[in-house]
Structure 1
Amino acid sequence: MVRLSRAILARVAPEARPLAEPRVTGVVHLGIGAFHRAHQAVYTERAMAATGDDRWGICGASQRSTDVADRLRPQDCLYGVRAGDEARVVGSVREVLTPGDDLAVRLAAPETAVVTLTITERAYRRGPGPGAIGRLVTGLRARAAADAGPLTVISCDNLPGNGATLAGLVAELCEPPLLDWVERNVTFPASMVDRIVPATTQADLDDMAARLGVTDLGAVVTEPFTQWVIEDCFAGDRPAWDRAGALLVSDVRPYERMKLRLLNGSHSAIAYLSGATYVSEAVGDPAFTGFLRRLMDEDLSPTLDGLDGFDLAGYKESLLARFANPGLRHRVAQIAVDGSQKLPQRLLDPARERLAAGHEPRWIALAVAGWMRHVTTAPELDDPLADRLRGDGPSSAAATVDRLLAIEEIFTPDLRENETFRALLTDSLRRLTTPGGDLS
């Protein structure tokens, strides 16, 4: 079967062809993985289609490998997105850079007005090499030297306060003249993104080929639901994302907390407690679904505010329906990665708030105990703190809780010293490691 490219688009059914053909590259994206291709790139194409403004093609930059470039470059950067029963080719990406390519040139181009990032929680940590933040600062330095105009840099990840966090990390790497230029010319809006995008499998690629009639090695599979809430503080021009369904607001934080705690917190609970291979299998168990409802209703929802007029009950029901979608094949192991970086904002922050209000976050403690069991018993542990999490061998529930609570990068002193929280964790871990233990 012939491979997808612009030259053979006529072989694709008209309703499955790109909605827009960008003429200019106006957006640079750092971290062009499956999530970006199923989320921001789709919004950007829809924005161009809604307005006829074709200046918003995307230059995607891979951070760690050439895999995405190897898949997309031979296809003229075209790729398919299947959302539910709908499959369509997306055409908003015009270029893909590898870690060895000169990203600074593109960031310094005057037609570039927006930078978006989807980088993991791990990427916000300091480490060897330039990393995504270092590459961004190098590009800002080149842009300032070229006097190329204002720039908006938008974080599109699960880190709370991602805009302010990114701005702070950039500032740390800027020399005084550059920092002055950044403060005058660059804004860092916070944003909340939501769309479940599992890792693409060979079966997904085969399905996309059957649907499109061409081979597509860059295809991604996602769910029909999608959400993007963006803080409305742009430095200059931007795609009309609001015309594509994005919500521009003055304060992202209430929506951010809602998604991080209800969706991502529930995902973490599924990853560490269900024992399932796929998310849909976990919620296929009525007992486990009952646990998720109690987690959301009793421990997580009471920590949410600022959502006046929002149908929170309906949102929670939609989450359970999304989790139950067997077509997504969302692997639990994918969610379990980097748990030490994800737990604080997903489960530990709401636990802290419930404790401060005089309540016992029983269901959160059970999920955190599930993580403790996972990091000490999993055959393979993909986490930047893996060596410290693993421990030296079997130990009692109380000893394991004490050891892990002492890791300052994860647990703050108030949680570490809270006897109620410690007791809940110890009891939960003891039950989880006892044959026949349940989630009640």
Structure 2
Amino acid sequence: MKSYKLNNQNLSLFKDQVAIPTYDRSQVKAGIVHVGIGGFHRAHQALYTDQLLHEPNANEWGICGVALLEFDQKIYNTLQEQDGLYTLVVKELNGTFTKKIIGSMVETLFAPENPSKVIKKMASVHVKIITLTITEGGYNYNEATGEFDFNNPQILHDLENPLAPKTIFGYLTQALKTRKEQGLAGVTIQSCDNIQGNGHMTEKMLLSYVQQAAPELVSWIENNVSFPNSMVDRITPATAPKDITDLQETSAIEDAWPVVCEPFKQWVIEDDFVAGRPAWENVGAQFAKDVVPYEKMKLSLLNAGHSVLGILGALVGYNTIDEAVHNKNIATFLKNYMDVEVTPTLGTLEGVDLEVYKQSLIERFGNINIKDQIDRICSESSAKIPIFILPTVQAQLQGKKLVKHAAFVLAAWAVYSIGTNEQGSALAIKDALKTTLQATAIESQKNPKAFLEIETVFGNLKENDLFVDVFVKAYENITANGVEKCVIEINNTL
């Protein structure tokens, strides 16, 4: 089968192989600027928007995708060459693949190449919404203090070089300042990252920065910018070389960076948009008055569950999440963690059957076609654990309830951070705090409590004697007996 490069010119060639955009992309205006054009955005918000653009009178809601970091140059170059087009491959539970070319990203910008162009775009009169997938670590939040981290070298750079920023806060500040100076309307800034109260977090962190960088802008932001919370959900593993070759061989599409994902998707959004919004509810999104309870459920169960499987699976020697959850002992440990330690912290969730939801997570984790790499799930754990697992720990400790499972996972993370699994093979640790984690993990071999001294991650948890005792015992047990023997023992004590 002859294959063709994916771009506007060749788009119609694929219509017999896969679903393609049937709207006129040349007539779509970018009413949304999205920062962070990785796999999750392209499997989630960009898909919802693509579906909406097929409806009448929706062509003001195209996306301008912004690659924020130097690291993002490859994805930027790929999307530029493909006119913003890419293929979404949904790996169904029954083993079939559903393929669709997404056309909602009608413009792409590379921030390091031209910061002023990005600022100008964010300040454009046509842009009504700025959405973010900048990862949990991108919000510059210090777990120990609960405040914005002004010691970050990139933040210091932005304060000194406001017209050539490197962080999202520098870009947003200059764009909002331009809007104010030009007498333009406000804008909605919508986080789509895995943080409880992600809108509240975005607002708090941005206003903290603006207070230092441009204090005269604070009141304008408070009156003209909204920050709706949202809950997002779709498992989106990293694209593998095989995904690219399979697509070319089966569908004749030469796509340098397709996106693969599971069939499940969910998007719950607070309806707080100051300058209008797309009718995403027409294509499956849900608008709600209060998203936070649902977000807490998802972060504490799905995202934390991923971290549990990733950390334990990595030490045992697994490469993918489905391998870890198909180990019955690890799966039982995860289910018990969700039942015994997480569920009591969630309260009442209207319209949600938690037992059904938890069972669905085990099934989703076990999708053998997804092959979500464990090193992806474990990457940036220093930013994830304070959001996914520590709120459960704090809530349980406050009620003097069990933390055995969570403490075990955190102890396993301390062992993981040394950098080798139980077979002695090297682990690919990808974390902004890698140096600190490894140094502290090595020190923890003599004194396990030392790992809890990383305040930016654990806050004051080291001061809780109950937790420290359980953590130290778990650490000693893991290093003496290995993960699987330990989880069997824990499972048998319930």
TM-score, normalising length: structure 2: 0.85
Q: Which residue pairs with 2:185 in the alignment?
A: 149
Question: What amino acid sits opposite 2:135 in the alignment?
Answer: T
Could you tell me whether the CA contact under 8 Å between 1:51 and 1:240 is conserved in 2?
no
Structure 2 counterpart SS, 1:224: coil
Could you tell me whether the CA contact under 8 Å between 2:293 and 2:346 is conserved in 1?
yes
Question: What amino acid sits opposite 1:167 in the alignment?
Answer: E
Could you tell me whether the CA contact under 8 Å between 2:443 and 2:450 is conserved in 1?
no
Query: For the structure 1 residues 392 and 172, does the alpha-carbon distance in structure 2 shift closer, same or farther, using more than 3 Å as the test?
Result: closer
Cα deviations across residues 97-154 of structure 1 (Å, max 9, x unaligned)? 0022210111121111111000012211244143122112221122222323121110
Cα deviations across residues 73-105 of structure 1 (Å, max 9, x unaligned)? 121111100112210000100011002221011
Instruction: State the alpha-carbon separation in 1 of the partners of residues 22 and 406 from structure 2.
Output: 43
Select 2:297's aligned residue among 250, 258, 265: 258
Displaced runs of 4 or more, over 6 A: none
Q: Which residue pairs with 2:63 in the alignment?
A: 58
Instruction: State the alpha-carbon separation in 1 of the partners of residues 43 and 458 from structure 2.
Output: 33
Query: For the structure 1 residues 211 and 52, does the alpha-carbon distance in structure 2 shift closer, same or farther, using more than 3 Å as the test?
Result: farther
Query: For the structure 1 residues 236 and 201, does the alpha-carbon distance in structure 2 shift closer, same or farther, using more than 3 Å as the test?
Result: same
Could you tell me whether the CA contact under 8 Å between 2:440 and 2:450 is conserved in 1?
no
Could you tell me whether the CA contact under 8 Å between 2:231 and 2:268 is conserved in 1?
yes
Structure 1 counterpart SS, 2:193: coil
Could you tell me whether the CA contact under 8 Å between 2:414 and 2:444 is conserved in 1?
no
Instruction: State the alpha-carbon separation in 1 of the partners of residues 218 and 440 from structure 2.
Output: 45
Instruction: State the alpha-carbon separation in 1 of the partners of residues 24 and 242 from structure 2.
Output: 29
Cα deviations across residues 376-419 of structure 1 (Å, max 9, x unaligned)? 2344532222222222785566712x212122112232x22222
Pairing 1:395-410 to 2, within 5 Å after superposition: 399-400=447-448, 402-410=449-457
Q: Does 1:382 align with 2:397?
A: no
Structure 2 counterpart SS, 1:228: strand
Instruction: State the alpha-carbon separation in 1 of the partners of residues 325 and 215 from structure 2.
Output: 52
Could you tell me whether the CA contact under 8 Å between 2:417 and 2:441 is conserved in 1?
no
Q: Which residue pairs with 1:354 in the alignment?
A: 396
Could you tell me whether the CA contact under 8 Å between 1:195 and 1:222 is conserved in 2?
yes
Structure 1 counterpart SS, 2:377: helix
Could you tell me whether the CA contact under 8 Å between 2:462 and 2:468 is conserved in 1?
yes
Q: Which residue pairs with 1:36 in the alignment?
A: 41
Select 1:88's aligned residue among 100, 105, 110: 100
Q: Which structure 2 residue ranges, 5 or more long, are not aligned?
A: 92-96, 141-151, 158-165, 421-425
Q: Does 1:78 align with 2:91?
A: no
Select 1:332's aligned residue among 349, 363, 374: 374
Structure 1 counterpart SS, 2:194: coil
Instruction: State the alpha-carbon separation in 1 of the partners of residues 331 and 387 from structure 2.
Output: 22
Q: Which residue pairs with 2:19 in the alignment?
A: 16
Instruction: State the alpha-carbon separation in 2 of the partners of residues 377 and 52 from structure 1.
Output: 53
Task: Supply the RMSD in Å over aligned alpha carbons.
Answer: 1.8
Identity %: 34
Q: Which residue pairs with 1:181 in the alignment?
A: 220
Select 1:3's aligned residue among 2, 5, 10: 5
Select 1:124's aligned residue among 135, 139, 148: 139
Q: Does 1:111 align with 2:126?
A: yes
Structure 1 counterpart SS, 2:468: helix
Q: CA deviation at 1:325?
A: 0.6
TM-score, normalising length: structure 1: 0.95
Pairing 1:240-251 to 2, within 5 Å after superposition: 240-251=279-290
Kindly tell me the number of residue pairs found equivalent between the two proteins: 438
Q: Which residue pairs with 2:161 in the alignment?
A: none
Could you tell me whether the CA contact under 8 Å between 2:85 and 2:101 is conserved in 1?
yes
Could you tell me whether the CA contact under 8 Å between 2:310 and 2:324 is conserved in 1?
no
Instruction: State the alpha-carbon separation in 1 of the partners of residues 292 and 7 from structure 2.
Output: 40
Could you tell me whether the CA contact under 8 Å between 1:151 and 1:236 is conserved in 2?
yes
Query: For the structure 1 residues 181 and 211, does the alpha-carbon distance in structure 2 shift closer, same or farther, using more than 3 Å as the test?
Result: farther
Question: What amino acid sits opposite 1:231 in the alignment?
Answer: E
Instruction: State the alpha-carbon separation in 2 of the partners of residues 259 and 156 from structure 1.
Output: 13
